[in-house]
């Protein structure tokens, strides 16, 4: 150990001498040689993970020559973090090391603040320590530091810093030091940080943590009011729109009118199938049928993914059934079947369309009941191809219910027809089927 220290002393002394030549003036205190020796010993012990010995040399450097080298504070931070970590079960001792760690940051700012970027890194570290270990005593200082850092580094803020920032934001709100509008503003700020790399694991975790910390203030009514108030001045700001849409969706504020206004505005500048389908469903629920159909058609025309396209077509077909356009619903659902012949849900939608529209076919030979033969054909087909047991059960239930509307056997006989014969059903249904009697 002594040989290693002697060798290191020589090497580091040379480096200090060279550094001194490059620097205009280095303040090694009243005893320069002692200072250089302590600096070297501190570095050497630290590299050997002899933290107790390194800490003694670190303290000597602080006492004798605090202005001599920023390495005092770089190494000092690491030493104190080590002691904070290993003393997690000894609260009193850990607290003392936290105090020492905070002092490292204060002295670093005093003697070696560096440029603005360096200063922000120091404040970032101090803010995170305060947030973790001194939240009750130094809540406002922690918030002030982290707020400055987030604003400086935005949108490339570290996920760990952003998480602490939102945690302190939550505590500040809980203690009545921040309004909910401030909490939401901070949340949206962090949303834009997450957007830099939304698939990154740490950012996914950050997004969820931020939602949790801001949850108390993310009430749909409050959000709706806030965004409505700010819509006119921000409606052309795509970042504002994207963050707001994401937040309102995360909080399941789907009925929010301002959400729809934001989505429509975003759709104008950047049309997307996923936006169009949401707008279609919204206006469908509002019974603004023409608008809904327009957005359904745009969503379908823009969607290139076959799986999603099938889902969109089925959604549109269901809506067409809802508004009484049964022939249109059947046509739309058949397009879904053409893409995916095993889509049982599409068969159910067609069966529904035919069943719901039976009353428009009273001019047929049986007065309309024959239409239910075709409806049941589609329900049975759905049951035969369904992979989901629930979908299969649903189809079979509908088939059984619609079978009750079949013509009676005597009515079939009166038409000089027989059960089991092929039969062409006319009207808008226009499909071939098999004659069956009501049981």
Let me know: does 53 contact 82? Beta carbons within 8 Å.
no
- Asked if residue 395 is part of any domain, the answer here is yes
- Asked if residue 431 is part of any domain, the answer here is yes
- Asked if residue 436 is part of any domain, the answer here is yes
- The pLDDT tens digits for 242-278 are 888 888 888 888 788 899 999 999 999 999 999 999 9
- The pLDDT tens digits for 71-127 are 999 999 999 999 999 999 999 999 999 999 999 999 999 999 999 999 999 999 999
- Asked if residue 256 is part of any domain, the answer here is no
- Asked if residue 165 is part of any domain, the answer here is no
Question: For residue 412, what pLDDT is reported?
Answer: 94
Let me know: does 126 contact 81? Beta carbons within 8 Å.
no
- Structural domain count, the chain: 1
- Asked if residue 371 is part of any domain, the answer here is yes
Average pLDDT for residues 418-437, to the nearest whole number? Answer: 95
The candidate with the shortest Cα–Cα distance to 346, out of 356, 332, 327, is 332
- Asked if residue 359 is part of any domain, the answer here is yes
Q: What is the pTM of this model?
A: 0.64
418-427 CB contacts, 8 Å cutoff, 24+ apart: 423/370, 423/373, 425/361, 425/364, 425/370, 425/371, 425/373, 425/374, 426/361, 426/364, 427/360, 427/361, 427/363, 427/364, 427/371
Q: Which domain holds residue 418?
A: 342-439
- Asked if residue 347 is part of any domain, the answer here is yes
Question: For residue 52, what pLDDT is reported?
Answer: 96
* pLDDT cut 90: percent of the chain above it: 81
At 360, which CATH number?
A: 1.20.58
- Mean residue pLDDT of the chain comes to 91
Question: For residue 186, what pLDDT is reported?
Answer: 94
- The pLDDT tens digits for 327-362 are 999 999 999 999 999 999 999 999 999 999 999 999
Split at pLDDT 50, 70, 90, the class of 4 is: very low
Split at pLDDT 50, 70, 90, the class of 2 is: very low
Higher pLDDT, 166 or 365: 166
Question: For residue 129, what pLDDT is reported?
Answer: 97
């Amino acid at each position: 150990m002594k040989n290693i220290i002697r060798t290191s002393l020589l090497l580091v002394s040379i480096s200090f001498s060279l550094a001194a030549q490059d620097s205009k003036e280095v303040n090694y205190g009243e005893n320069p040689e002692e200072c250089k020796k302590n600096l070297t010993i501190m570095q050497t012990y630290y590299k050997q993970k002899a933290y107790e010995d390194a800490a003694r040399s670190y303290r000597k450097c602080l006492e004798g020559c605090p202005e001599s080298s920023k390495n005092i504070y770089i190494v000092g931070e690491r030493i104190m973090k080590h002691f904070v970590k290993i003393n997690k079960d000894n609260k009193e001792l850990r607290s003392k090391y936290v105090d020492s760690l905070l002092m490292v940051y204060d002295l670093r700012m005093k003697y070696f603040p560096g440029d603005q970027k360096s200063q922000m890194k120091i404040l970032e570290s101090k803010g995170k320590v305060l947030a973790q270990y001194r939240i009750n005593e130094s809540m406002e200082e922690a918030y002030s530091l982290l707020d400055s850092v987030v604003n400086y580094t935005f949108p490339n803020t570290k996920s760990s810093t952003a998480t602490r920032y939102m945690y302190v934001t939550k505590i500040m709100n809980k203690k009545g030091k921040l309004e909910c509008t401030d909490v939401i503003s901070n949340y949206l700020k962090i949303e834009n940080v997450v957007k830099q790399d939304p698939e990154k694991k740490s950012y996914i975790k950050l997004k969820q943590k931020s939602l949790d910390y801001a949850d108390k203030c993310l009430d749909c009514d409050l959000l709706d009011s806030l965004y409505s108030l700010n819509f006119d001045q921000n409606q052309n700001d795509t970042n504002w729109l994207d963050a707001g849409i994401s937040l309102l969706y995360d909080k399941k504020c789907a009925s929010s009118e301002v959400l729809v206004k934001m989505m429509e505005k975003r759709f104008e500048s950047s049309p997307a199938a996923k936006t169009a389908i949401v707008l279609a469903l919204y206006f469908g629920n509002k019974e603004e049928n023409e608008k809904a159909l327009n957005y359904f058609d745009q969503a379908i025309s823009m969607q290139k993914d076959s799986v999603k396209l099938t889902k969109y077509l089925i959604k549109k077909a269901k809506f067409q059934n809802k508004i009484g356009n049964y022939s249109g619903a059947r046509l739309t659902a058949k397009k879904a079947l053409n893409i995916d012949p095993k889509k049982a849900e599409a068969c159910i939608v067609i069966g529904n369309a035919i069943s719901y529209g039976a009353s428009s076919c009273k001019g047929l030979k049986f007065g309309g009941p024959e239409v239910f033969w075709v409806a049941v054909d589609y329900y049975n087909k759905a049951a035969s191809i369904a992979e989901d047991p629930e979908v299969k059960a649903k189809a079979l239930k509908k088939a059984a219910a619609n079978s009750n509307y079949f013509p009676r056997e005597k009515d079939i006989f009166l038409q000089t027809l027989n059960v089991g014969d092929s039969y062409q059903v006319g009207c808008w249904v226009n499909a071939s089927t098999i004659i069956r009697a009501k049981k």
